[in-house]
Chain A
Amino acid sequence: MTLHSSRPDARTDLLHGTLDMLILRTLQWGPQHGYAIGQTIRAQSSDVLQVEAGSLYPALQRLAKKSWVTAKWGQTSANQRAKFYRITPDGRKQLLREESRWTELVTAIGRIMKPSLLRDNEE
């Protein structure tokens, strides 16, 4: 997944939202620094989604601005300085909202792409 965040228009809003959701989801299991967030998303998507630094860090700033995450400098296990992000209670609520929106979206797209399959499932 390659994300650019140069222009705030409707098209990129959707992508922004998705990346934000992925980051919040990653932070649900505990505070992480930026590099680790990127690596986690990549690993969990089996290398399909590669988040570029150019998208990741602006996204983290966006989340911090909305107070969905907080940031604090700390030490990594390899004893390196890094900025750790922690999800806030507001962030968790937002994650829930994003998840349900995303599920809706996937279902809707699924209905169009694979109508028979879904109908079978529903029955």
Chain B
Amino acid sequence: MGIRSWLDRRRLDEDDFQEEMRAHLAIAADERMADGADASSARLASRKDFGNLTLTTEAARRVWSPWWLEALRDLWSDVRYAIRGLAKNPAFSLVVVGVLTLGIALNAAVFTMLKGMALSPLAGVDRSSRLVVICGETGAGRQLRVSYPDYKYLRDHDAAFSDLMASTVVTAGLGRGPSSRSIWSELVTGNYFRVLGVRAERGRTLLPSDETAPSGHPVVVLSDGLWRRDFGADPDIVGTTVEINHYPFTVVGVADPAFHGTIVSYDIEMFIPVTMAAELGVYGGLAPTTSSELLADRRAALLFPHGYLRPGTTLANAAAQTDALWATLSNDRPLTDARQRLALVPFWRSPTGGQTYLLPTLVVLSAMGLLVLLIACANIAGLMLVRGVSRRGEIAVRLALGAARTRIVRLLVVETLVLALPGAVLGVLLAARGIPVFVSYADWLAAPQRLFFNIDLDRLVIGFAVAVACGAALVFGFVPALRSSRIDLASAMNEDSSPRGTAPDRLRTSLVIAQVAVSLLLLVGAGLVARSLEAARSANPGFDASHVSAIALDLRQGGYDDGRGRTFFRHLLDAVRADPEVEAASLGTFNPMNLIETPARRVAIEGYEPRRGEDVAFMSNTVGADYFRTLRIALLSGRPFAERDDEHAAPVVIVNGTFAERFWGGVANAVGKRLRVGDSEWRTVVGVAADVKYLRISEAARPYVYLPFRQEYRSSMILYTRGSAPVQSLVDRARARVASLDVNLPVLYARPLAERVSSALVFFKLASAMLFIFGIAGMALAAMGTYGLVSYTVRQSTHEIGIRMALGASGLSVVRAFLVRGVRLGAIGAAVGVVAALALTRLLGSVLYGVSATDGASFTRALVVVLGGVVVATLIPAWRAARTDPLRALRHQ
């Protein structure tokens, strides 16, 4: 017997049943006619006798259908009823849906970003959030890459991992001439694709056999995007040769279209075996050398190993195993500048990638997003409560007619869900439109390199939005629904809706307190952020980026060796300095306010014995003569670098003020002291430069070292020119000079320095702006809600006001009574808010600058605004109530 016929057998035969009913009526009519009635009245009488035919059929149908089908049918009728009811009240419904849409859009957008950073950070990689990263960690908590020999040792001996791959990110020039482009690439080990489970779309992925011949096996796997954009999706790409940094590489494959590398927020476009590191100019912090020497050197901080833990291994477990391995390794072959230990971190805490600076902000943002949603819920709960009161009559009638309490509650919950789900859908749509705006902005900042965020609106996001909407519906719908179902029938039927004689309404009171508290919290947050933005804007970064152009070049990408590179830079500087519009020009390796951490190098100071475990590695910059004048960095003492500080002259160095203070007790003592950077010879300090914001505006002062370019050649340099001409023309002219010297050399970027620097501020500004918007939106919502609830309470008490005034109370005393009540609630709420703010604003620490998280002014301002709002929200309705005629107030019900 088929399932279909079984189902049929289990169902009422509708036609047969109707025929049976007709037969029943016919027999009954015949019988009446036999008793002497005429045909039509007999039919009418039997029809009347029968009762309700539809209800009978329904009852018969119900005998057959399973209970859940019935429940579903009931639910559907509830949904229809709810939609009808809400359609009758469009203003209420629109306000609720609108408030929810906003709240959910904010949360969905932040959640999507969080998902792309932490929950599923790598597109095209299964379980990417479960990847574990190994990094070296100094006593000061600075994270370092791991050398290739150490990686290999860990890969072969660490039983905690099922397999270990390793990679590092590098920019490389692809092609030659004007069409050449600087793109982000990953240097990877041979098992990289196997560990990640990424397949090749065309050709093959890299294999362990590609990792065997240092410098001798130049192969590359392209990303799908690069293959489509730069090679027109050439079907015969595999086997062709491309030039990377003017070095020929054979394309062996194209990676899966979904895959964008393992550096969060970077769109990695080429994957190259780590055995070609030196050819790509990666030396792991050592002096330039060959790939085979680099790969054998344990001091070269080269790679971050990644892997999945074996099933059943916890992170703590794995860390213990790795620690033990590291101890063995350090005993067998001690390193001179041994790292303190190896740390295992989950992928979302990986030391590279966009999540390092985006995650803290996102966490704060999501907390604020939830607060805004909470306020929205409290708001809607208030609306529902008021509406519930006006529906008391309807609900009482239903209860009196025998509706079960659960049935009423279900109806009200269905109503809130009918409101919440459109909010979820619209919220997701709004987020979907908003996110690309943010991404295109970030993309513009990153050009010419490409960004990639794994922020598809997938099932996870939609599930999140629906869950949030349902949670919100429960919060704002369920409590009022429960209350509505607990109506005193007699009084409700008698249309007496005044709260006379009932205890003070605790739910409404607590809603007011909660809203005041949360709005204070958000206002404090917004105030802190506003003050911090102000501080950041007026902060002195220590240099002047206006009227400076920055053109970044990497001579390796043009195939230059060191000797030719030095000549090129000398000619380039001569050429730009000859331009009458250029006041000053120089070179530097890293921009100030670089945002991204630059490598730190060990510094040995003559006569200074570092404490055990003290981290004496500092960031450094290799700069040309005239650097400090070009960027207008003040020189506190001594002299700047000059052209005569070349490879034949005595080695010199310049330190910053913090360095001088820390090691020699002051700027004045520094000049003439000696130090070593890395493994180089002793250098004499010739000057002390003022501190600059090296990475971001909010950073703490840090020691910093400058080395002269002519004594420490770097192939990757930024050319700066300063002049009074419009900065864009400075950029264009400098760019033209580069092209006139070598038309084939790719330019990494050519931008006004101010623009480059502001991109370091961008995440800070973006985060601050969003926090401010969240704060203001939440505050506005909360103010509205508080006003609504307080004025509603006052309105409800019109009757009481009438009695008071009839008994001789003056209008003023009535107003005072309400004001005292309102301010008492406001004060309780504000107190709760202050306590919460004191506890929570510390979270803001990572995004605040120049203002303490417990800043008194911000707290005072927020308190004044919130309490003022409460007073106004109380005063207006109370005043109105006091002016009503006592007689009318008494009749008001």
Contacts and interface: CB of A to CB of B under 8 A. Distances in A.
Contact of B64 (A36, A53, A65, A82): A65
B12 interface: yes
A57 B30 contact: no
Contacts, number: 64
Contacts of B27: 33, 35-36, 76, 78, 80, 82
A121 B52 CA distance: 46
A58 B60 contact: yes
Contact of B20 (A36, A57, A62, A80): A57
Interface in B1-32: 12, 16-17, 19-21, 23-24, 26-28, 30
A54 B23 contact: no
Contacts of A57: 17, 20-21, 24, 56, 59-60
Given A61-B64, A80-B30, A54 B55 contact: yes
A6 interface: yes
B504 interface: no
A87 B16 CA distance: 19
A17 to B, nearest CB: 14
A35 B28 contact: yes
Interface string B147-179: 000000000000000000000000000000000
Most buried by B among A55, A57, A78: A57
A26 to B, nearest CB: 16
Contacts of B59: 5-6, 54-55, 57-58
Contact of A34 (B16, B20, B62, B63): B20
B64 A54 contact: no
B21 A33 contact: no
A81 to B, nearest CB: 6
Interface in A31-55: 33-36, 52-55
A53 B52 CA distance: 9
A80 B62 CA distance: 29
B829 to A, nearest CB: 46
A57 B27 CA distance: 15
Nearest to A39: B31
Contacts of B52: 54
Interface string A81-96: 1110000000000000
A76 B20 CA distance: 13
B23 A81 contact: yes
A55 B21 CA distance: 13
A5 B58 CA distance: 10
B63 A53 contact: no
A78 B20 contact: no
Interface of A: 5-6, 33-36, 52-55, 57-58, 61-62, 65, 76, 78, 80-83
Nearest 8 CB-CB pairings of A with B:
A58-B59, A61-B63, A54-B56, A54-B51, A61-B60, A35-B27, A58-B60, A53-B50
Given A35-B28, A57-B24, 17 more contacts: A6-B59, A33-B23, A35-B27, A53-B24, A53-B50, A54-B51, A55-B59, A57-B17, A57-B20, A57-B60, A58-B56, A58-B60, A61-B60, A65-B64, A80-B26, A82-B27, A83-B16
16 contacts: A33-B24, A35-B28, A52-B50, A52-B51, A53-B24, A54-B56, A54-B59, A57-B56, A58-B60, A58-B63, A61-B64, A80-B23, A80-B30, A82-B27, A83-B20, A83-B23
